[in-house]
């Protein structure tokens, strides 16, 4: 997934009202759109290096968008609007080995009355639902974690995936770790114990869990390698 505009380096000052981030670029301070509604735990440290890009759209109130924050000398992609684009790019290029033989890809597919899953992919007669979660949290060296706040939406998606499995769909939860400094992934049970407990039950009910990190370049972000999913 390539960025539409060139990234501009800066220094993080503060985030406020959830969607605003003040960034210093050279001698100027600009206000950028922060495309992440999560807590962004551990990332919002004044002085951290950041990268933004600028839009030429005259209708936009905020010309800049925050894309990457550096955490402990590692880049972290914080734009959750790009998460599914990164995964879609990987599916199309057969970069996810579990889906190398898929023939069809559909995005934002409705299931039931009130649920949409990120992807429905198929090969021959088998269909797979894939729900994607963006991961940025790393509190201990090498360990990526999700969630970074209590997630009722995340609980709902697991329940719905289990329902889908009863209708002969294979079900996958793909955690996209938008950083490159982690070698394993865990559920943050101290942050959301209910999510942790449901994940344990869901894995026993045929939920497949995939965890992939990302590779960063000046041009964009790509899904990189699979990392281990650990359950304590």
pLDDT tens track for 34-86: 999 899 999 999 999 999 999 999 999 999 999 999 999 999 999 999 999 99
Residues 113 and 206 in one domain: yes
Same domain, residue pair 178 and 161: yes
| Domain membership of residue 49 as a residue range | 8-77
What is the gyration radius of the CA atoms in the chain, in angstroms?
18
pTM above 0.85, yes or no: yes
How far is residue 200 from each of residues 8, 97, 124, 145, 231, measured CA to CA in Å? 42, 24, 30, 15, 8
User: Per the domain annotation, does 27 fall within a domain?
Assistant: yes
Residue pair 198/156 in contact (Cβ under 8 Å)? The answer is: no
Q: Looking at the 3D structure of the chain, how many domains does it have?
A: 2
**Does residue 12 sit in the same domain as residue 60?**
yes
Question: Which residues, in sequence order, are bridge partners of residue 155?
Answer: none
In a domain, 3, yes or no: no
Q: 3-state DSSP call for residue 214?
A: strand
Answer yes or no: do 58 and 126 share one domain: no
- pLDDT tens for the chain, residues 1 to 232: 999 888 999 999 999 999 999 999 999 999 999 999 899 999 999 999 999 999 999 999 999 999 999 999 999 999 999 999 999 999 999 999 999 999 999 999 999 888 999 999 999 889 999 999 999 999 999 999 999 999 999 999 999 999 999 999 999 999 999 999 999 999 999 999 999 999 999 999 899 999 999 999 888 999 999 999 988 6
Same domain? For 62 and 38 the reply is: yes
Regarding whether 84 and 66 lie in a shared domain, the answer is: no
Handedness of CA 10, 12, 14, 16 (dihedral sign): positive
């Amino acid at each position: 997934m390539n960025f539409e505009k060139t990234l501009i380096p800066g220094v993080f000052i503060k985030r406020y009202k959830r969607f605003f981030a003040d960034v210093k670029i050279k001698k100027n301070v600009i206000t950028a759109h922060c495309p992440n509604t999560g807590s962004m735990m551990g990332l919002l440290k004044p002085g951290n290096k950041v990268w933004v890009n600028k839009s030429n759209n005259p209708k936009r109130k905020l010309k800049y968008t925050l894309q990457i924050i550096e955490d402990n000398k590692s880049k972290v992609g914080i734009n959750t609007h790009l998460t599914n684009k990164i995964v879609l790019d990987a599916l199309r290029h057969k970069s996810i080995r579990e889906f190398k033989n898929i023939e069809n890809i559909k995005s934002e597919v409705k299931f039931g009355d009130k649920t949409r899953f990120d992807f429905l992919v198929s090969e021959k007669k088998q269909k797979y639902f894939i729900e994607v979660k963006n991961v940025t949290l790393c509190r201990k060296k090498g360990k990526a974690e999700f969630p970074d706040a209590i997630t009722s939406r995340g609980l709902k998606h697991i329940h719905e995936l289990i329902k889908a499995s009863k209708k002969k769909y294979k079900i996958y939860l793909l955690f996209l770790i938008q950083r490159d400094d982690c070698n394993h992934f865990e559920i943050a049970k101290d942050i959301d114990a209910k999510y942790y407990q449901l994940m344990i039950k869901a894995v026993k009910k045929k939920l497949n869990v995939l965890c992939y990190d990302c590779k960063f370049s000046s041009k964009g972000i790509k899904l990189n390698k699979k990392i281990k999913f650990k359950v304590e």
